[in-house]
Chain A
């Protein structure tokens, strides 16, 4: 039973990232009708917002330590963060330690701005073009963005740890009556799952309970009629693009302590997230969330040695296999709407 709970937790954790990225993807598709292959790059840029803030907070000046030598035998130059000078060593160290959570505040305006600029500057010119053109241009944009990041940050992963208070693991086993230590799960992954749940809930609440959200939903259902009522739906859709970029960016920020960010991390998630969107149903927000968690859990169980021993390689194909089965039985995906991508 303990193995089941552990793999379920893993699945929920993986599903959190899939759901957050897929949510933004399907939001953009549902509002603007654009298949955005640059969405994974937005997830990656969010992660690099955390790297950037972490580096800004750690900006240092050098002090020569005569008692130690560097690799060339010269007196060692030790980096002393300016934060230590400004806030004192204890407070300065705490601020640097909390760089990832602080990056949330930094990433929200940055990601909204990037989203709006991306939509106004490039993507709006492709609204009436075929989906193939949209895929080509957004995929090209994704490559440009990742090469820019690689140029400035290098190709290697950059460690961006969670605050030291959250680096340990939580013992679920002791609480659930199992042997202590049998079900342990990292604090940060639990936080990530909780964070994803809050963001998903906030996006749904925003769309469901605000006037802005109501107009956006109406626009998703019938753009022309909403336009005829004198409502500038394009402006609202641009804001939704910025919002979707912020959701992807925040998913990236919080992901950095789980895996050290690198320039390629967006591409690693992109294809899976598209499968999630298609399985959930193009343009369906609940579908994206449901499919994200479903595929995350399935992938997690398929990675178990006992399963791989029975069906070798199943861990690598399970998501695509399930996608084929679902699309064969429900061509519009789990919660897809009639008429979407069917013209």
Chain B
């Protein structure tokens, strides 16, 4: 049997030495980084563009990357300047950010949360990215946002529409320019009432994941508030490709509207199947049967082809908008790439400019200083009219577009027409709205 000589004083002394030893590298590291993660040098600053370069949303990711490259070009004073001249804030002068040339690294999210976190982590730790932006999925956005919060860098979300991104999963270091499910419902409901009446019976097919749930909840509450009745709701697996067995029960119900809470390949397939089954030619309860797609994307509309004709949905932005900012962006993007930008490209371009502008106004790259500059920031000239980055949840509040599949498109890009620009007042909600309940921003993290 061995005898141990542990004493209270001995343990305290050992602990103090070990603690000091462990703390020393952190202290030295923090000092060398000016108090925040990945402080840039005097000549350049690195941004991390984390987009799906493989997987089902690779085309959307490619469009995001084009927009980021364009934004970097404009920030560095190259090209035609894009939206810089139309942006209401005049802090940016095309001389980089705070005099540093903007450089970038890219990562592939694969539209998988773990892969997206790994690529973001690599860009932060290996490449020294001071800000992460991009993505085409709410699952990815929530995962990367949490990582950026822990790492102490700013996250400027790309395409993410779930309420949760700025609801229960919001973070102090994360910011979203894109609209959300609640806004889609609030914008769509009055248009649906005007066109289809207030006495309707809706059947929801909903993708079985976070975005699907929040979108269904938002559209249901908005349409029920104006008199619609929800007569059916079915969750469909995310991997489902043939929706026929989910469509046929709709034929058997007394529903006269089908709401497809689907995105991407799910939307393309469910809409195609619904049209194949003649739903749009049916008359139920004395009314023409209608289909609604709450979130439209031009890239997805291309996949569904002629099936989108006449179908209502909502979108964050569209290239046919005629404000000066949109026109400048479409001209710049179209001249460089030969086709108009998607809404994903637009939101990513705008997010990059907004980040750069916030750094410029704050006079610092420190995440907490940037966050402070973004919170409550009001701006215009970036394509959506007067916009507010609300301090309480880091969500942008701006006009929302209600669109409809075009009957006679002139090209493969000309698939949607704007039905109404819904004013921001109609889509604004209280920060503690039940659909956004739970979670808190927490405190900003500078990292280091």
**Residues of chain A whose beta carbon lies under 8 Å from any beta carbon of chain B:** 2-3, 6-7, 10-11, 13-14, 17, 68, 70-72, 76, 147, 150, 154-159, 161, 167-169, 181-182, 184-186, 188-189, 258-260, 262, 264-265, 268-269, 299-301, 303-306, 308, 315-316
Do B249 and A304 have beta carbons less than 8 Å apart?
yes
With known contacts A72-B335, A157-B268, A188-B276, A300–B249 Cβ distance under 8 A: no
Do A10 and B56 have beta carbons less than 8 Å apart?
no
4 nearest A-B pairs in the assembled complex, by CB-CB distance: A159-B305, A157-B303, A155-B58, A303-B245
Residues of B within 8 A of A258 (CB): 242, 272-273, 276
Do A13 and B232 have beta carbons less than 8 Å apart?
no
Do B245 and A300 have beta carbons less than 8 Å apart?
yes
Cβ of B277 under 8 Å from chain A: yes
Do A156 and B59 have beta carbons less than 8 Å apart?
yes
Residues of B within 8 A of A299 (CB): 245
Cβ of B248 under 8 Å from chain A: yes
CB-contact partner of B305 in A76, A189, A260, A305, under 8 A:
A260
CB-contact partner of A303 in B239, B246, B331, under 8 A:
B246
Q: Which of B233, B251, B306 has the most CB of A within 10 A?
A: B251
Residues of B within 8 A of A188 (CB): 276
Cβ of B411 under 8 Å from chain A: yes
**Residues of chain B whose beta carbon lies under 8 Å from any beta carbon of chain A:** 54-59, 208, 232-237, 239, 241-242, 244-246, 248-249, 251-252, 265, 268-269, 272-273, 276-278, 281-282, 299-300, 302-307, 319-320, 330-331, 334-335, 339-340, 410-411, 413-414
CA distance A168 to B275 in the complex (A): 9
CB nearest neighbor in B for A259: B269
CA distance A299 to B303 in the complex (A): 26
CB-contact partner of A305 in B234, B269, B335, under 8 A:
B234
CB-contact partner of B278 in A3, A159, A169, under 8 A:
A169
Residues of A within 8 A of B335 (CB): 72
* A308 vs chain B, min Cβ distance (A): 6
Residues of A within 8 A of B303 (CB): 156-159, 260, 262
CA distance A181 to B277 in the complex (A): 11
Residues of B within 8 A of A72 (CB): 330-331, 334-335
* A276 vs chain B, min Cβ distance (A): 15
CB-contact partner of B234 in A6, A169, A300, A308, under 8 A:
A308
CB nearest neighbor in B for A300: B245
CB-contact partner of B252 in A2, A150, A154, under 8 A:
A2
CB nearest neighbor in A for B338: A72
CA distance A29 to B33 in the complex (A): 61
What are 24 A-B contacts with C-beta separation under 8 Å? A3-B249, A10-B245, A11-B245, A13-B244, A70-B410, A71-B319, A71-B320, A71-B339, A71-B340, A72-B330, A155-B58, A159-B272, A159-B307, A161-B305, A169-B276, A182-B252, A186-B276, A188-B276, A189-B276, A258-B242, A259-B242, A299-B245, A308-B234, A316-B208
CB nearest neighbor in A for B297: A156
* B36 vs chain A, min Cβ distance (A): 37
Do B277 and A169 have beta carbons less than 8 Å apart?
yes
Residues of B within 8 A of A155 (CB): 54-59
Q: Which of B265, B299, B330, B340 has the most CB of A within 10 A?
A: B265
Do B330 and A305 have beta carbons less than 8 Å apart?
no
* B21 vs chain A, min Cβ distance (A): 47
With known contacts A155-B58, A157-B268, A186-B278, A265–B331 Cβ distance under 8 A: no
Residues of A within 8 A of B248 (CB): 3, 6-7, 10
What number of A-B contacts does a CB cutoff of 8 Å give?
Answer: 133
Residues of A within 8 A of B330 (CB): 71-72
Further contacts, 5 of them, CB under 8 A, given A10-B248, A70-B411, A147-B54: A2-B252, A6-B248, A71-B320, A185-B277, A303-B234
CA distance A306 to B319 in the complex (A): 43
CA distance A308 to B236 in the complex (A): 10
CA distance A182 to B249 in the complex (A): 11
Do A184 and B242 have beta carbons less than 8 Å apart?
no
* B147 vs chain A, min Cβ distance (A): 25
Residues of B within 8 A of A316 (CB): 208, 237
CB nearest neighbor in B for A162: B276
Do A181 and B276 have beta carbons less than 8 Å apart?
no
Do B245 and A305 have beta carbons less than 8 Å apart?
no
CA distance A269 to B241 in the complex (A): 9
Residues of A within 8 A of B278 (CB): 168-169, 184, 186
Do B237 and A315 have beta carbons less than 8 Å apart?
yes
Residues of A within 8 A of B414 (CB): 71
Residues of B within 8 A of A3 (CB): 248-249, 252
Residues of B within 8 A of A181 (CB): 282
CB-contact partner of A186 in B56, B277, B300, B410, under 8 A:
B277
CA distance A103 to B319 in the complex (A): 36
Residues of B within 8 A of A185 (CB): 277
CA distance A17 to B246 in the complex (A): 17
Q: Which of B56, B244, B249, B413 has the most CB of A within 10 A?
A: B244
Residues of A within 8 A of B57 (CB): 155
* B203 vs chain A, min Cβ distance (A): 9
CB nearest neighbor in A for B299: A156
CA distance A5 to B361 in the complex (A): 66
CB nearest neighbor in B for A187: B276
Residues of A within 8 A of B233 (CB): 305
Residues of A within 8 A of B236 (CB): 315
CB nearest neighbor in B for A188: B276
CB nearest neighbor in A for B276: A186
With known contacts A7-B245, A72-B335, A156-B59, A184–B306 Cβ distance under 8 A: no
CA distance A242 to B55 in the complex (A): 29
* A292 vs chain B, min Cβ distance (A): 14
* B98 vs chain A, min Cβ distance (A): 34
CA distance A147 to B58 in the complex (A): 11
CB-contact partner of A262 in B56, B208, B234, under 8 A:
B56
Residues of A within 8 A of B411 (CB): 70-71, 76
CA distance A196 to B299 in the complex (A): 32
CA distance A42 to B280 in the complex (A): 34
Residues of B within 8 A of A268 (CB): 239, 241
* A312 vs chain B, min Cβ distance (A): 8
CA distance A72 to B328 in the complex (A): 10
CB nearest neighbor in B for A74: B334
* B60 vs chain A, min Cβ distance (A): 8
CB nearest neighbor in A for B270: A259
Do A76 and B245 have beta carbons less than 8 Å apart?
no
* A137 vs chain B, min Cβ distance (A): 21
* A154 vs chain B, min Cβ distance (A): 5
CA distance A72 to B341 in the complex (A): 12
* B339 vs chain A, min Cβ distance (A): 8
Do B245 and A259 have beta carbons less than 8 Å apart?
no
* A57 vs chain B, min Cβ distance (A): 16
Q: Which of A71, A150, A158 has the most CB of B within 10 A?
A: A71
Residues of A within 8 A of B331 (CB): 72
CB-contact partner of B244 in A154, A158, A189, under 8 A:
A189
